[in-house]
Structure 1
Amino acid sequence: MITRRQFLVGSLAFGGLASSALGKKMNLASMPISEGYGALVTDPQKLLDLPKGFSYKVISRLGNAMSDGMHVPDRADGMGCLPVEGSTDKVALVRNHELHPKHLSAQPESIQKHASTLAYDNYANGVALPGGTTTMVYNLNTQKVEREFISLVGTVRNCSGGITPWGTWLTCEESVDRPHGPNGDVVNKDHGYIFEVPASADSLIEAKPLKAMGRFNHEAACVDPKTGIVYLTEDRGDSLLYRFVPKEYGNLAAGGQLEALVVKDKTQFDTRNWNGNAMPVATWFDVEWVALENPESPNDDLRVQGYDKGAALFARGEGIHWGEDELYFCCTNGGSKQLGQIMQLLPSKDGDSDKLQLFLESEDKNLYNFGDNLTVCPNGHLLVCEDQYTDIVDNHLRGVTPAGEVYNFARLHAQTELAGACFSPDGEILFVNVYSPAQTLAIRGPWRKA
């Protein structure tokens, strides 16, 4: 099972609390399972069970008419919440839609007919590929969506991404489709890139790939606000952890260097623990970074190139989150039972003494099963979205207190996943997506009173 020590190590780090305790053995007997915010109350609408005192509101759903004349697409995945410049009561929610070209016929009619010169890629008839982002301008006071529109289109499988300190959302393609490869009869351009969507956008923007950040099966991104370095996960069973060191802070289009993580003195280190316990919980490893060449990778071989240079392997890197001077990322099927891991990386001030540790590895699918997107509550609790389609029907939002106590925060009734969890800047509202049929929820409650 997941030991309480494993949760304690991770949760202390997430909140930026008591970091001196990291990596130490704890007295497990004094760390009971927490009641969290209390027992979950059955939702009469049979959508999402929440603790007493919490409530949700559906603010957007598949097929809703948007302010640009289009309709909300399906497969809502990663999402970022950013303040709207010049406003104290409005936020921009930039939401990914993980749509492949084959999904077009199942989308609203307006999406099926959407043609634009601003799209990154189009079908032969000029219709834009359906992947991309929608943006909602949400009023925190009135609790209403004031505007909703397609903000980027023509991409493939926009899975997750990350917000930046300069007010943009990085949306990532989880695809390496090519015109002359798989699905080459549909796509007309190479895919597998990151695109940047400003929170200030008020309509569809031109989709410009940030090619220097690598062409691979992207999942998510987070940014060190001090250095502007972007850390990137890859959704593959033999994935790497990447970082992009930009030439200019806040100007990713100016280029930079893509690198992969290497565990010092442990060439080609396997963190997945599929064949033994190579990476014990709560053990720190010194790491460094190796430069990668030809980031556009026409043969989709960046992870092979990195591994040949000594890079460490991870099991399906997915959600990633920047905390206080550290970052955390989920490895969805890592661990001896392939139920999931969470890693912590401590970047150093000099860039030469970064450290990595495994601080959660699940051996019990009833406690933690395929963690994906993750975020941090206003009180420092960790909140993880599960993404599993196994014999356990329901996906949960799992909470962890700063004292290492584990609890369920929410239970989803539908056989789909929760994704894109993110908080409003004031910490009063949790926004989260129901993947399909797509819905976006705003959850309010006593976040600081667990």
Structure 2
Amino acid sequence: MDRRTLLRATVAGAGGLALPFTAWSAAYAAPAQNAAGPYGALQAADANGIQLPAGFTSTVVARSRQTVPGTSYVWHDAPDGGAVIPNGTGWIYVSNAETSSGSGGGASRLVFDASGTVVGASRILSGTNNNCAGGKTPWNTWLSCEEISLGRVWETYPLGGTAVARPAMGRFKHEAAAADPVRRVIYLTEDETNGKFYRFVPTTWGDLSSGTLQVMVAGTATSGSFTWANVPDPDGSPTTTRSQVSGAKSFNGGEGCHYADDTVWFTTKGDNRVWQVNLAGNTYELAYDDNLVSPGTAPLTGVDNITGSTAGDLYVAEDGGNMEICLITPDDKISVFLRITGQSSSEITGPAFTPAGNRLYFSSQRGTTGASSGGITYCVTGPFRT
């Protein structure tokens, strides 16, 4: 029985319950290697310049500095990290603006009805700087993270409410966040060449106003065991958070972060790697390394945002590279899922699936112009496996 068969058998046997760690640790035996994709070869570019497998289609849902169709709201520049949040009648796609406070930094939302039609759009965070990635919470808020020195995590309320800073989550060059409802913590990445991997332990789950910031402590190898240590001074001044704990493991440019079933994955752009942290066993390993791929050349470079599908596949977006979203399956195979043509001066950001798993949203941060004002946000529909 291969790992995907094992994965599906475990899910079926659990009657739809969350997949246990033992199955996931068996399903992902990193690092991933080249293989044909589960959806077949890419077709010629469509009218939007996107190459997709047969049966998939793309649409443009918003463009920077243009009014979102069906609304009066002008979409923000430089769309970056994103997530989908259900709202009872449809869903909301939230998107960060990776620009300065004076140029519209913050985050916005697109509101969709049950058919996937935009029925609203609005700002949910303003006056912040370089909001790059982030993560959604189980209580349907969006954590928008500032990628600046002493940057903050802002908890925003796409379903209604006023955004608030969460300084207890640390002041550093934030990237992404991923919530773990089992251990009741939030994992955080740091975009520095010697960045660290953190977790925030709230005093009360569901309330991020207070808690303990911890950092991963491990050796220098690409796999092994780890522990967590408290960061003494989360405000990062005068000593940066990444410099406060002896033995804290360094990662070269932390980017996207995704949690599912006792496992958290995060990417590092400085060395084109995807890391897998096995939380029940307190071990870590490589899920992908572009220097360890065979046969042929590595398909994924400029690793950045990451998300997961209902089938357990990982989707990793490129910052540059060939402007691709690559797919890593639970049986350790990597392939190209889509490619954006004619936008070589941009990057792909904010991939996120709807709860049903049949729509994938993402953005090209600078579009065809190569400028922040040229951002484009897309939706891809098709026969995604679930």
| Fold similarity call, TM over 0.5 | yes
The Cα of 1:305 is off from its aligned counterpart by 1.1
Deviations 1:306-342 (A, max 9, x none): 3xx2101111111000011111101112xxxx3x111
Query: Does the 8 Å CA contact 2:109/2:122 hold for their aligned counterparts?
Result: yes
Residue 347 of structure 1: aligned partner: 279
Find 1:39's aligned residue among 31, 38, 41.
41
Q: Secondary structure at the residue paired with 1:45?
A: coil
1:97 and 1:25 map into 2 onto residues whose CA distance is 33
Question: What is the distance in 2 between the residues matched to 1:32 and 1:154?
Answer: 43
Q: Which residue of 1 is the match for residue 155 of structure 2?
A: 196
1:293 is matched with 232
The Cα offsets for residues 78-118 of structure 1, whole Å up to 9 and x where unpaired, read as 0010110xx2x41111110100257x3xxxxxxxxxxxxxx
**Higher Cα Rg: structure 1 or 2?**
1
- Measure the CA separation in 2 of the matches of 1:99 and 1:300: 26
Gaps of 5+ in 1: 1-6, 105-129, 177-190, 264-268, 271-277
| Residue matched to 1:161 | 134
Sequence identity percentage: 30
Does residue 220 of structure 1 match 2:159? no
* Alignment-derived partner of residue 99 in structure 2: 99
Matched residue SS, 1:41? coil
Paired residue for 1:76, among 66, 76, 79?
79
> 1:366 Cα deviation (Å)?
4.2
Q: Identify the match of residue 370 of structure 1 among 289, 302, 309.
A: 302
CA apart distance, 1:295: 1.1
Aligned to 1:134: 108
C-alpha distance in 2 between matches for 1:297 and 1:208: 19
The whole-number CA distance in structure 1 between the counterparts of 2:327 and 2:152 is: 32
For 1:176-187, what aligned pairs fall within 5 Å after superposition?
176=149
2:316 counterpart SS class: strand
Structure 2 residue 380 is matched with structure 1 residue 443: yes
Q: How has the CA–CA distance of structure 1 residues 16 and 382 changed in structure 2, closer, same or farther, with 3 Å as cutoff? A: farther
Deviation of 1:69 (Å): 5.3
- Structure 2 counterpart of 1:108: none
* Paired letter, 2:250: L
Alignment length, in residue pairs?
359
CA contact (8 A) 1:36 1:408 kept: no
SS at match of 2:244: helix
Displacement, 1:224?
A: 0.7
Higher strand proportion (structure 1 or 2) = 2
Deviations 1:181-219 (A, max 9, x none): xxxxxxxxxx51001112312xxx544210110000000
Structure 2 Cα separation of the partners of residues 133 and 300 of structure 1:
29
Match of 1:58 in 2: 60
Tell me the CA shift for residue 246 of structure 1: 0.4
Gaps of 5+ in 2: 9-17, 367-373
* TM-score (ref. length: structure 1): 0.74
Taking structure 2 as the reference length, the TM-score comes to 0.85
Q: Would the alpha carbon gap of residues 20 and 43 (structure 1) be closer, same or farther in structure 2, given more than 3 Å must change?
A: closer
Q: Which residue is equivalent to 2:24? A: 19
Matched, 1:434 2:359: no
Whole-Å Cα distance in 1 between the matches of residues 207 and 54 of structure 2? 44
Q: Which residue of 2 aligns with 1:320?
A: 257
